[in-house]
Structures are given as structure tokens and as C-alpha cells.
């Protein structure tokens, strides 16, 4: 039975890879792609989703979502993803449209029409997902699962305390983590194990396909900014870790925790505070990703990308 998913993305180099593997995996039915402001403006993330879908021949409807965070000022990440949000490769003008229906309306309609078998896979700020639950709190019980890239039980990447997707809209993240839907939180502690080392780039080029070359170019640019900003030798490819978990549940381990988002403090604004020991007296509200089987992960990614001809 294929797992039905909605990808909510802010492409973004690693979002683009998540989209490519989700669309090519027989284990999944990608029922829709929704975009959100995050790495770049909504206009740019939506254009990027359409451009990647054009190159790969992905025939899944794309819906544009919210253009700014719920409360805070907008933050974007050109230092990592460039001015276009997908700097590096030359991408064609899009040949796929953006739907007229708003992303939040699409998600609400799809959940209403479903049998409770829809998994939401947000890999950007949680603005769209929060808007769904603000408008329809009851839908938290109709979502099969939310597998989100965001947060960290350890250090952040945009401040010492906060990971970008959460920091870009902490109030939205608070709404999502308190909505009551089953959550798997794929944070930096996990995704920093998913490094695109030179041997991975070689495997991508070895596919000798346009999509394989595209991903190699995307990750080469991504690697250049991660080296410049963080001094890392190889970039952590965050977003595909969510999709990989849905393709192969054994790709990483998880531990239950009570996760709360700090929306009050200054230094820790946007931090996901993870309680693994019940110290807060709250029951766990998320499965937190812990240990990646890195070889298995890259095999999943390459196997999916090899399906593009």
C-alpha cells in the first residue's frame, strides 16, 4: 500500500532533493506539493519547485502557500541557498503551473476528503501547517503523521540555540507541536549525519542522467556555502531524511520526547527544547530522530534518483 504524502517545501537545495526522491519512489504517493516562504521568498520557492518539477518531469500539482511567518519578521537564507534559493545549476523556465487553490486550502480539503491516511512532510518553516490547524484544530486527528525536518535537541544552525525552519516561524512551530498530531521530528542532530561527501557526488554523477547531474550540481553549491559559513567539509543534506524514513523506516532510530518551542526568550528564541526524561511532567508529543544508517540513507537516495531516465 503506497503511503500518501503532501510535501510542504521551501526549495532550497535539500528540499529539491527531497522532492525528487519522493516523486520517484514507488513506496509513496505524492498527492501534492505545497510551497512556503523560508529559504527564500514564497515567489522564489514556488518558482524553484516548478523548475525542479519541469526538469524531472514530475506531474504533481503545486500549490503556493503563505508568504510570511505568523508573527515574527521574515528571515530567509541567501547565505546558504543563494539569491534564487536554488543557486548553482542552470534551471529552465518552468513548464508546470502553480495551482489557483491556496496551499492551506488544498491541505485542508485533502485531509477532509481522506480516510486519515495522509502524511504531512514539511521541510521548511511550519507556517502552512500551523495555518491548517489554526483554521481546523480537528484536523490534527485526521493526519496520519507529520514527519518534519526541523529543530534540534542539541545546537542550532541559525543561532546557537535554533534551527532555521523553527527559527523562521517559532509561533507556527508551537502551534504544530501542540496540535496533537503524531510527529516525527527530524532535527539537525540526525541530518548532520547525512553528509554529501565526495563519494556521494561521484555516485550521483555516475548515474549519467540529467537528474543525477542536477543533484550533484545542487549539492556542490550547497557544499560550497556550508564550507564558507560553517567550515564543514561536506554539507548535511537535511530534507531528504524525512522522505527516506517513509521509504524505509529503519533508516534512522527515534526516541520519544516532549518537545516545546521557545517563543519567549531572546537567546533561545526558536529553540526546540526536547525532554527525553519526563522532567517537565509532560507526556511525549514527538518521536525525535537519533541515529542515521548513513549507507542505507544514501542507497535510498541513489536508488530513487536512478529511476529518472
Chain positions contacting ligand RIB, by CB under 6 A = 10, 12, 14-15, 38-39, 123-124, 149, 157, 163-165, 238-239
Q: How many residues bind Ca ion (CB under 5 A)?
A: 6
Based on the number of CB atoms within 10 Å of its own CB, is 169 exposed (0-12), middle (13-18) or buried (19 or more)? buried
Q: Which stretch binds Ca ion (CB under 5 A): 8-16, 108-116, 200-208, 245-253?
A: 8-16
The strand order across the sheet containing 286-292 reads: 62-64, 28-35, 3-9, 118-122, 143-149, 183-186, 286-292, 252-261, 272-275
From 10, 14, 87, 169, active-site residue: 10
- Please, which residue, 108 or 263, has the CB nearer to ligand RIB? 263
Under the binding rule (CB under 5 A), the answer on residue 15 touching Ca ion is yes
User: Quick check: 123 binds Ca ion (CB under 5 A)?
Assistant: yes
In the list Ca ion, ligand RIB, none, the entry touching 157 (Cβ below 5 to 8 angstroms by class) is: ligand RIB
Residues numbered 228 to 247 that lie near Ca ion (CB under 5 A) are: 239
d(CA 145, CA 141): 9
C-beta closer to ligand RIB: residue 14 or 87: 14
Q: How far apart are CA 66 and CA 125, in angstroms?
A: 10
Contacts of 175 (CB under 8 A, 6+ apart): 70, 126, 129, 130, 133, 134
Active site residue 10: yes
- Please provide residue 307's backbone torsions phi and psi, each rounded to the nearest 5 degrees: -75, -15
Closer residue to ligand RIB in complex, CB, 24/149: 149
Q: Which is nearer to Ca ion, 124 or 151 (CB)?
A: 124
Shortest distance, position 278 Cβ to Ca ion, whole Å: 31
Taking CA 99 as the corner, what is the angle to CA 146 and CA 34, rounded to the nearest 5 degrees?
Answer: 20
Q: Minimum distance between the CB of residue 48 and ligand RIB, rounded to whole angstroms? A: 11
- For ligand RIB, the closer CB: 78 or 180: 78
Per the listing, cell 546558504 goes with: 80
Pick what 167 binds: Ca ion, ligand RIB, none; C-beta below 5 to 8 Å, kind-dependent: none
- Per the CB < 8 A criterion, the answer to whether 143 and 130 are in contact is no
Residue 163 as a binder of Ca ion (CB under 5 A): the answer is: no
Query: Which residues are part of the catalytic machinery?
Result: 10
Amino acid at each position: 500500500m503506497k503511503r500518501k504524502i503532501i510535501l510542504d517545501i521551501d526549495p532550497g537545495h535539500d528540499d529539491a532533493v527531497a522532492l525528487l526522491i519522493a516523486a520517484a519512489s514507488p513506496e509513496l504517493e505524492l498527492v501534492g506539493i505545497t510551497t512556503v516562504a523560508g529559504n527564500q521568498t514564497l515567489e522564489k520557492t514556488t518558482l524553484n519547485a516548478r523548475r525542479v518539477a519541469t526538469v524531472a518531469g514530475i506531474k504533481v500539482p503545486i500549490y503556493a502557500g503563505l508568504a510570511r511567518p505568523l508573527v515574527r519578521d521574515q528571515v530567509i537564507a541567501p547565505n546558504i541557498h543563494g539569491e534564487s534559493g536554488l543557486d548553482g545549476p542552470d534551471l529552465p523556465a518552468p513548464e508546470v503551473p502553480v495551482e489557483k487553490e491556496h496551499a492551506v486550502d488544498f491541505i485542508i480539503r485533502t485531509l477532509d476528503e481522506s480516510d486519515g491516511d495522509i502524511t504531512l512532510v514539511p521541510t521548511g518553516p511550519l507556517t502552512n501547517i500551523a495555518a491548517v490547524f489554526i483554521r481546523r484544530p480537528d484536523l490534527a486527528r485526521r493526519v496520519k503523521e507529520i514527519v518534519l525536518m526541523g529543530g534540534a535537541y542539541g545546537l542550532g544552525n541559525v543561532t546557537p540555540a535554533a534551527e532555521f525552519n523553527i527559527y523562521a516561524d517559532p509561533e507556527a512551530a508551537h502551534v504544530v507541536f501542540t496540535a496533537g498530531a503524531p510527529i516525527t521530528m527530524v532535527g539537525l542532530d540526525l541530518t548532520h549525519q547525512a553528509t554529501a561527501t565526495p563519494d556521494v557526488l561521484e555516485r550521483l554523477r555516475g548515474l549519467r542522467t540529467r537528474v543525477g547531474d542536477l543533484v550533484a550540481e545542487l549539492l556542490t553549491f550547497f557544499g560550497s556555502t556550508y564550507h564558507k559559513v560553517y567550515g564543514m567539509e561536506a554539507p548535511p543534506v537535511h530534507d531528504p531524511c524525512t522522505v527516506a524514513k517513509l521509504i524505509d523506516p529503519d533508516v534512522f532510530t527515534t526516541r520519544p520526547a516532549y518537545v516545546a518551542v521557545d517563543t519567549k526568550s531572546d537567546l533561545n528564541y526558536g529553540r526546540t527544547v526536547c525532554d527525553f526524561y519526563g522532567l517537565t511532567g509532560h507526556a511525549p508529543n514527538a518521536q525525535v530522530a537519533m541515529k542515521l544508517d548513513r549507507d542505507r540513507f544514501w542507497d535510498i537516495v541513489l536508488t530513487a534518483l536512478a529511476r529518472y531516465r
